[in-house]
Every structure is written in structure tokens, then in C-alpha cells.
Amino acid sequence: MNPLLVQAPILAMLLTLLGSFLCVLLGMFAGRRSVELLSGVLTAATILLSSLALINVYLLDGPYVYFMGGWPPPVGIPYVIDRFSAPLSLVVSVIFFATMVYSVRYLEKDRDVKWYYSLRFLMQTGMYGLLFTGDMFHIFVMLELMGLSAILLVPFRKEVKASVEAGIKYGIYDILAITIYYLSTAMIFGMFGSMTIAEISAKLGGYVSPFSGGIFADPSALPVIVALIVWSFAIGAAIVPQHFWLPDAHSMAPSSISAILSGLLVQVNIAVLARILFDGFAAGSLPGSAVGLQLLVILGIASSVVGAAFMLVQSDIKRLIAYSTITNLGLITIGLGVGTPLGVSAAYLHIINHAFVKASLFMIAGVFIHATGSREIGALRGISKALPGTSLLYTLGTLAAIGFPPLSMFWSKLLLLLSVLSAGGVYPYLVLPMVVSIVFESIAQIRLLAIIYSGEKRAVNCRPSLPVILSIGIMISIIVVTGLMPNLLFEFGRLAAEDLLNVSGYVDLVLKSLNYTAP
């Protein structure tokens, strides 16, 4: 194995952690431009490192485990780099880079931006850690890192009272989610004597660890543990009925942060939950943990319908986009809850597609708000004649959001519908609420487009700069190009689902890397 390729995802994580400290130091002694330059260089470097990790996993060495510090569990922390985590880390890197370029002009009138870029790097570090880690307690640490950064970034413009209120509301919900998760980890350690996801799964199959032994308690408590974990991540991912923090936080944060929150943060929560349920608790095969998938289906139906229904009555463009996020998170959780290879593959693709679409829509919404001085949808009447290029980009993003062929989200939505139809049992009946939510979202989004393209040309306060347009153009280009290559999308989704659902393969990968006898 090439050492650089093996350590590339770890170096990306360490670079962002280092960048967080350097941003503050440079901001204090060298000024704003040096902070922006450093942020640009480091976020570009993370794209390169994430790409190297992807190449290594797909074309060279295949999935592998990296033990932080060289220490094996239960002392050390295994980082699993496979076909589920590696593509998502690249998505994180690309969106952070695009929003960084966007932020330079978007925040040009804001002060103390060193803290803004520092907290962004901390959030990025937390996301990498969550995607790669194979340790339940390390997930808790990374949730704290990602969540604290987000809590402080939502009210970055602290002179706006509503932003501060939204940040406080988000902070309360985030603390509640992390507390519930912490409680579940205490129960896990009491039952299994280990926090390593692979060991937990192995012990459920009768494995006895040379360090931590076997199961210490009656596994009848497993459904309670699984339910607590689903509850905690449902809050973090704003799944109905734990969604109340999201519309305020995503709409009141700076648009560059809204793009990250809606495009990445909530979806990283879903990805981590999928890893825990399938690879930690074998939710697809063990009756005691199957309650997790059942909860995902129920909550997913509620989220998809409720989110879409609320979209119909929104007058604020960012709140409309925020409720669209709730809707699509519902569709993702339905796919995961079905638990079939097709359902998991479709959900995985929808996570990636939705990340780019939602990030781009929030970024363009920020341009519209700067240009008009208003967040009201009615104020956008005639904006297409004043900002035709930006309006075209928004149109492409909106068409992707509603699943217009052949844009990227069309394929993942189609696969989600096919996954419930092919699952058998009561699952085909889920098509009805899913179609209803898609129709409601389409009505709300098309109504917004109609307003943008109607009326006389309106006056604007400013026009987007070239870096802003390029950063948005990167995102829209990815949406269009990937939509034109559905076979490539399907293959990425299939391989990700294969790695996620191959529980024995995940356990073997971690335990054999430790020279343990795998079960």
C-alpha cells in the first residue's frame, strides 16, 4: 500500500483541524486576506486528498482500515475507508471548497471572519471523523465537534436577533440529541464492553474478544438501545417530529452556512446512523435491531409528507428550501428503512445528489437576497430579467430538486420509488405518500420559478461577482453531468450499498486488520 494514499483521508482531517487554529492566528496577526487564502489552499488540498482516497479504494487497494496512532481497539480508534465513506468524504470536500470561494465575496462586509473560517474547518473535521470512524464513542466526540461549530455559525451575524434565536434553538436540540446518544453509548458499553462497531456486531454473532470478552448483559435491551440511537440521530437530521429547529437554523444562518447545514450536516447524520444500524447492529438480519429500520420507515413517511406540505405555504425563499430538505431526508430514510440493496443504494445516491442540489439552491438564494434586500418570494418577481444567469442556475437546481429528468435527483428518486415497489409486503403502499410529497414539492418549487420569470425587470442592489457565480456553477455542473451519466451513479450506489450491507465483510476488515480471529 502507498503510504500517502492510505493516509490521505486522515491527512485531510488533520489539515482541517490545523486550519481551524491557523485561521485564528493569521486573523489576529496577518489580516483577513491571509485567512481567506489559507482557507482556499487547505480546502482545495482536501479535495485532492479525498480524491486520492477514492482512487485507492476503487482502483488500487480496496477498502481498508487505518488505526489512529497505530493503537488497536479498545484503546485505539479504527477508521474505515470503504466505498460507502470515501465518496461521501469527497462530497464534503467539494462543497466546503465551493462555499469557501462563495464566502469571500458573500461575507466581504462582515467582521471577524477568522472565527467564521475557523469554525468551518472544525465542522469539516467533525464530518470526516463521523464518516470514517468505527468507534461509537468517537462518534460522540465528532458529533460534539460538528454540532458546536454549527451552533456558533448559525448566529454568526449576531446583530440579527432572529439568527441568535435560531442558534439558541438549534443548540438546545443538538444538546438533547447528543445527550440521548451518550446515554445509548453507556448502555452499549455496559452490554458489550466495547465501543468498536465491528466488535459489537461480531459479539451479537457470538464472538468473544481477546480483550473485552463477549456480551455482558441480556441482549433483550437491544431494541431500546437502537431506538435511542435512532431518536438521537433523527433530531440531528431533523426528521419529523424532531424537525422544529431546522427551518429557523437553515433560513437564518448566512447562506454559505445554510448550504453546508442543508447539504451536508443533516445528511452526514443519516449516513452515520446507517453505518451504526447496518454494520453495528446488523439491522437487516437481527430481529432485536430491526426496530431501527421500522422507525426509519415511519419517520420517513411523516417527514416527506409534512415537509412538502409546509413548502406550499412558505413566503420566505430560504424557509421553502429548508422544508424541501426535510422532505428529501424523509425519502432517504424510507430507502434506508426498507433495508434492501436497492433501497440502500437509492438512499445513498439521494444523499449525494441532494447535497449538491440543496447547497447550490441556498447559495443562489443568498445571491437573490443580496440583490433584492428581501427574503420574501414575492420580491423575486422579475429577478430573471435583472439576473438572467443566476436565475438560469437556480432553475437548473430547482428542476433537479423536483426530479426533472435527466438531472441527478431524478435517478435517485426513481430508484427510491422502485425500491419500495420491489420490497414486497406493505412497502409498495409507501409509494402513495412518497408521490404525494414529490408532487407537493414540485408545486411549491414551480410556483417559485413562475414568480422569478414573471413581471417586469426589477431593480437590484448588486450583482454577483465572478467567484460567486463560479462556485455555484461548479455545483450545478456536477448536478447536470452526473445526471447525464446514470450508469456511473448506479454503480457508485450499488458498491456503497454492497459495503454497507456486507456486515461480515466489515467485521472481517476491522478484526483481521487487528490480527484477531474473525467470527
Confidence of residue 337 (pLDDT cuts 50, 70, 90): very high
Closest C-alpha to 461, from 353, 379, 352: 379
Which residue's C-alpha cell is 432553475? Answer: 395
Q: pLDDT digit string (tens) for 54-100?
A: 999 999 989 999 988 777 776 778 999 999 999 999 999 999 999 99
Over residues 179-233, the pLDDT tens digits come to 999 999 999 988 888 888 988 888 888 877 777 777 777 777 888 999 999 999 9
Q: Which triple of cell numbers denotes residue 481?
A: 453531468
- Asked if the model's pLDDT at residue 293 lies above 70, the reply is yes
Peptide bond into 241 cis (omega under 30): yes
Check pLDDT > 60 for residue 463.
yes
Model confidence band, residue 30 (pLDDT cutoffs 50, 70, 90): confident
**Grid cell listed for 367:** 445571491
Phi-psi region of 339 (alpha: psi -120 to 50; beta: other; left: phi over 0): left
State phi, psi for 486 to the nearest 5 degrees. -60, -35
Q: What is the pLDDT of residues 376-393, one digit of tens each?
A: 999 999 898 989 999 999
207 or 483: whose pLDDT is higher?
Answer: 483
pLDDT at 515 over 60: no
H or E element: which one contains 335? helix 317-338
pLDDT band, very low/low/confident/very high, at 119 (cuts 50, 70, 90): very high
Q: What is the mean pLDDT of the chain?
A: 91
> 31 versus 316: which is more confidently predicted?
316
- Do 140 and 175 contact (CB within 8 A), yes or no? no
**What are 190's three cell numbers?**
455496559
Distances (CA, A) of 452 to 172, 308, 380, 396: 36, 20, 5, 13
Asked if 92 contacts 50 with a C-beta cutoff of 8 angstroms, the reply is yes
Grid coordinates given for 39? 482557507
DSSP for 136-162, please give it: HHHHHHHHHHHHHHHHHHTTSSTTSHH
Distance (Å, whole) CA 209 – CA 192: 10
What confidence score (pLDDT) does residue 215 get? 76
Map out the domains of the chain as residue ranges: 140-513
Please give the biggest Cα pair distance in the chain.
74
Distance in angstroms (rounded) separating the CA atoms of residues 296 and 283: 11
pLDDT value, residue 67 = 87
- 460 vs 436, higher pLDDT: 436
pTM over cut 0.75: yes
Q: What is the pLDDT of residues 233-266, one digit of tens each?
A: 999 999 999 898 999 999 999 999 999 999 999 9
CA distance 199 to 208: 9
Q: Which residue has the cell 420491489?
A: 422
**Cα gap 223→162, rounded to integer Å:** 39
What's the angle, vertex CA 432, arms to CA 431 and CA 437, rounded to 5?
95
CB hemisphere CA count around 108 (13 angstroms): 10
Query: Rounded to whole angstroms, how far apart are CA atoms 132 and 102?
Result: 27
Q: What pLDDT is stored for residue 412 in this prediction?
A: 95
3-state helix, strand, coil in the chain (%, to 5): 75, 5, 20
Q: Flag the least confident range among 127-131, 147-151, 288-292, 507-511.
A: 288-292
Give residues with Cβ within 8 angstroms of 37, minimum separation 6. none
- What's the CA gap between 90 and 73, in Å, rounded? 27
Lowest mean pLDDT among 147-156, 186-195, 203-212, 485-494: 203-212
CA dist 389 and 452 (Å) reads 12
Asked if pLDDT for residue 499 goes beyond 90, the answer is: yes
What's CA 124's distance to the chain center, in Å?
11
C-alpha cell at 280: 453495528
The alpha carbons of the chain give a radius of gyration, in whole angstroms, of: 22
**pLDDT band for position 456 (50/70/90)?**
confident
Contact criterion met (CB below 8 Å) for 151 and 54? no
Percent of the chain scoring above 70 in pLDDT? 98
According to the model, what pLDDT value does residue 208 have? Answer: 78
For residue 517, is pLDDT > 60?
Answer: no
User: What whole-number distance in Å separates Cα of residue 148 and Cα of residue 126?
Assistant: 10
Q: Which residues contact 292 (CB under 8 A, 6 or more apart)?
A: 226, 227, 229, 230, 277, 281, 283
3-state secondary structure of 31: coil
Q: Three cell numbers at 313?
A: 405555504
Using pLDDT thresholds of 50, 70 and 90, give the confidence band for residue 290. Answer: confident
CA distance 266 to 146: 11
**pLDDT above 90 covers what percent of the chain?**
71
| C-alpha to C-alpha distance for 44 and 150, rounded to whole angstroms | 21
**Strand, helix or coil for residue 311:** helix
